[in-house]
Amino acid sequence: MKKKTILAAIGISLVTSVLTIFGYQYFNSSDFYIYDNSKVPIVTTSSTSPGSMGYIDFSEAAESTVPAVVHISTIVEGRKVVARDPFNPFGGPGRVYKMPNQVGSGSGVIISKDGYIVTNNHVIQGASKVQVTFNNRDVQIAEVIGTDASMDLALLKIKGDNYPYLSFGDSDALKLGQWVLAVGFPLNLETTVTAGIVSAKARSIGINQRNSQNAIESFIQTDAAVNPGNSGGALIDAAGNLVGINTAIASPTGAYAGYSYAIPSNLVLKAVQDLKNYGTVQRGYLGVELVDLDKINPNHIEQLGLTEEEFKHSKGVLLHNIISGGAADKAGLKKGDFVIGVNNAEVFSSPQLMEKIAQLSPGDKVKITYMRKNKKHETTMQLQGEEELIALARKQRNSKQQNMYAEGKESVNFKSLGIDVAELDKKDLAKMNLSSGVIIKNIQNGIIQSYTNIKPGFIIYSINEMDIKNTDDLKKAIEKSPNSLSIAGTYPNTSGMYYYNIQI
C-alpha cells in the first residue's frame, strides 16, 4: 500500500513538472527572457589588449605600477603669533605662541630611475618637510625641485638610483571609453588600484584658478574611483603607461561621487622637463583672450564683430581680444576669428586649445587654422614668453583705459594736480554704473603723481564728498579746499572703488 502511494506521488510530480514547463513556454510573453547558455561566447580572461573583444586583465599593469607610486606625507610648520599678556597691566611685548604643525598627505609617481617624483602642487604647498614612503615601507626625505601652480604640478627628488619608475604614455592618443587605472594612497590606506574608463577629455573645472591667474586646465575625466589622498597618484592605461596625474574629484560631499580628473601626461612631461632644466615652467603664449561658443551670449554677437550668419555657422574657439604686439597680432589674427586647429589637430574648446599650446615653449612656431567670415585660413606664429606678454598686455590696458572713454573730447589741464582730464557723457557713465565723474587722460609732475599711485584712465567722481560731474565741478572743488583733498574714484571695467586723502 505504501509502495503504491509513493509511486502515485512520484507520477503526479512528474506530470506536474512537465505541465509547468509546457505552460510557462506556452503562455510566456515578451516580458520574459529564457537565458540560453549555449549561445553565450566563452572567452578567457587573459587578454590585455584594450581593443580585444574579451575581458581585460589589469594584473600586469597594476603589478608594474604599484612599486613606482609612493605615499607623500608633509609637515607645514605652525605660525608663531604674539598675544598680549593679560597679567601684565603695563602692556609691553606679549607672549609668543606657536600654532600646531599641519600634517598633509597625498601620492606621487616616480618617473625616472634616479629618483625624480611628480605630484600635485597642492599636496606639498607650504611644506617644510616632504617625506616619501614606498610600497615596501622604505622612507626617504624628498627635495622640492620646482612647482607650477597654473597646472597644479610639483617635481620632487630623492637620493639614490635604480628606482622603479613609470614611462610616459601619449595622453593625446587616449580615446573615450578606454580603460584606465588610478593608483594611489586614498584615505591613508595602503596602495590602492581602481579601474574605470575615460569618460571625457579637455575638461575645465576651475580649480586651478584659485592659485594662478594663468591657470591651465584640460583634464582627463574618468570614473575610476579617486578619493582624498589619491592626489598626485598615477592614471595609467592597460599597458601600464602613465597617461595622467590624478588631481581632483567632482563631489558634493568631498568623497568620490563618480567623476575624477587627471592632468594629461603630455602636459606633465613638458612641465617636468622645464622644472628639471630651469626650475620653472617655460610656457609659450598666443597673446589672446578666448571664449567658448557655449559661453557667448547671442545678444552680444555684434559687440564681438560678428554677424548673426557668422555666429550661426561658427565653430572652434572665439578670439575675444588680441593683445597688440602679441604673437597672434603679429600673425594677422583679429578679434572675432575662430581658431579651429593647432598644428593640424582640431580644437573645439578653449581647454583643448590651451592644452596644445601649453605643450610648447616661447620661441616655438605653431600653425593655427582659423575661420574668418566663414572662410578657412592658416597662419604660422612664434609663441611669446610670459614676461613679454604681460608687459604688452599692461601697455595695451593702460592705453585702452585712457582712450576707451571721452575719445575725441577736449581735455582740460589742471596744473595744480598735474593731470589732464576729460568729461564723460551719460552713455559712458552708464556703462560703469556711475552718475558722475571725469576721466584722467594724462598725468604729469604734480600732486597726483607725488602723493598717489593713480594711473591714466582713473575716473574721479568725488572730491571732498562733492560730486564731480564736469571739469567746472573739479575746479570748484580744488579752489574750495586747496590744501586738503579727499579723492574718490574708480577705473573702467572694475568693481573696486579707490580713495586717496592728500594733505598739501
Which of 388, 415, 433 is at the close of a domain?
Answer: 388
Q: Which of 54-63, 161-170, 268-277 has the lowest mean pLDDT?
A: 54-63
Give the model's confidence band at 255: pLDDT under 50 very low, under 70 low, under 90 confident, else very high. Answer: confident
Same domain? For 139 and 182 the reply is yes
Same domain? For 221 and 370 the reply is no
Q: At what angle do helices 350-358 and 265-278 cross, to 10 degrees?
A: 40
The yes-or-no verdict on residue 50 having pLDDT over 60 is no
User: Considering all CA atoms of the chain, what is the largest pairwise distance in Å, rounded to the nearest integer?
Assistant: 132
Same domain? For 312 and 274 the reply is no
Q: Per residue in 160-191, pLDDT tens?
A: 999 999 999 999 999 999 999 999 999 888 99
Whether 300 is catalytic = no
Give the model's confidence band at 262: pLDDT under 50 very low, under 70 low, under 90 confident, else very high. Answer: very high
Q: What is the structure's pLDDT at 90?
A: 54
Residue 228 lies in a domain: yes
Residue 298 belongs to what domain range?
Answer: 288-388
Q: What is the 3-state secondary structure (H, E, C) of 301-324?
A: CCCCCCCHHHHHCCCCEEEEEECC
Grid coordinates of 137: 615601507
Same domain? For 68 and 199 the reply is yes
Residue 176 lies in a domain: yes
Q: What is the structure's pLDDT at 140?
A: 95
CATH of the domain at 155: 2.40.10.120
The yes-or-no verdict on residue 2 having pLDDT over 50 is no
The yes-or-no verdict on residue 79 having pLDDT over 80 is no
Q: What is the structure's pLDDT at 337?
A: 92
pLDDT > 70 fraction of the chain, expressed in percent and rounded: 80
Same domain? For 277 and 296 the reply is no
Same domain? For 371 and 464 the reply is no
Same domain? For 65 and 201 the reply is yes
The yes-or-no verdict on residue 51 having pLDDT over 90 is no
Q: What is the structure's pLDDT at 17?
A: 41
Higher pLDDT, 225 or 482: 225
Local structure of residue 232 (DSSP, 8 states): T
Q: What is the structure's pLDDT at 445?
A: 83
Q: What is the structure's pLDDT at 40?
A: 35
Give how far the C-alpha of residue 57 lies from the chain's centroid of Cα atoms, to the nearest Å.
Answer: 33
Higher pLDDT, 290 or 68: 68
Q: Which of 85-99, 136-150, 384-398, 417-431 has the lowest mean pLDDT?
A: 85-99
Catalytic member of 150, 231, 265, 350: 231
Whether 313 is catalytic = no
Q: Per residue in 348-393, pLDDT tens?
A: 999 999 999 999 999 999 999 999 988 999 999 999 998 888 788 7
Which amino acid, 186? Answer: P
Same domain? For 277 and 334 the reply is no
Which of 249, 281, 313 is at the close of a domain?
Answer: 281
381: β partners: 366
Catalytic member of 71, 73, 105, 122: 122
The mean pLDDT of 214-231, rounded to a whole number, is 94
Local structure of residue 445 (DSSP, 8 states): S
Pick from 63, 270, 265, 274: nearest CA to 164: 63
Residue 44 lies in a domain: no
Q: Is 331 helix (H, G, I), strand (E, B) or coil?
A: coil
Catalytic member of 71, 73, 107, 152: 152
In angstroms, the Cα distances linking 85 to 28, 89, 302, 387 are: 87, 8, 65, 48
Residue 112 lies in a domain: yes
Higher pLDDT, 363 or 252: 363
The mean pLDDT of 137-151, rounded to a whole number, is 95
Residue 393 lies in a domain: no
Q: Are strands 69-76 and 219-222 parallel, antiparallel or unpaired?
A: unpaired
Q: Per residue in 442-500, pLDDT tens?
A: 888 888 888 888 888 889 988 888 889 888 998 888 888 767 888 888 887 665 678 88
Same domain? For 221 and 143 the reply is yes
Q: What is the structure's pLDDT at 377?
A: 95
Q: What is the structure's pLDDT at 249?
A: 92
Q: Are strands 192-203 and 179-184 parallel, antiparallel or unpaired?
A: antiparallel
Q: What is the structure's pLDDT at 49?
A: 43
The yes-or-no verdict on residue 53 having pLDDT over 70 is no
Mean pLDDT, the chain, as a whole number?
Answer: 82
Structural domains counted in the chain: 3
Distance of alpha carbon 446 from alpha carbon 485, whole angstroms:
14
Q: What is the structure's pLDDT at 89?
A: 55
Element (H, E) at 428: helix 426-431
Same domain? For 419 and 462 the reply is yes
CATH of the domain at 311: 2.30.42.10
Residue 332 lies in a domain: yes
What are the helix (H) ranges across 279-371?
308-312, 327-330, 350-358
Same domain? For 260 and 168 the reply is yes
Give the model's confidence band at 42: pLDDT under 50 very low, under 70 low, under 90 confident, else very high. Answer: very low
Which of 230, 258, 281 is at the close of a domain?
Answer: 281
Same domain? For 330 and 264 the reply is no
The mean pLDDT of 67-83, rounded to a whole number, is 84
pLDDT > 90 fraction of the chain, expressed in percent and rounded: 47
Residue 21 lies in a domain: no
The yes-or-no verdict on residue 86 having pLDDT over 70 is no
Task: Give the length of the chain.
Answer: 504
Distance of alpha carbon 133 from alpha carbon 72, whole angstroms:
6
Q: What is the structure's pLDDT at 291?
A: 85
Whether 486 is catalytic = no
Q: Per residue in 299-332, pLDDT tens?
A: 767 767 777 877 777 889 999 889 889 999 999 9
Question: pTM above 0.85?
Answer: no
Q: What is the structure's pLDDT at 18?
A: 34
Residue 76 lies in a domain: yes
Distance of alpha carbon 51 from alpha carbon 55, whole angstroms:
10
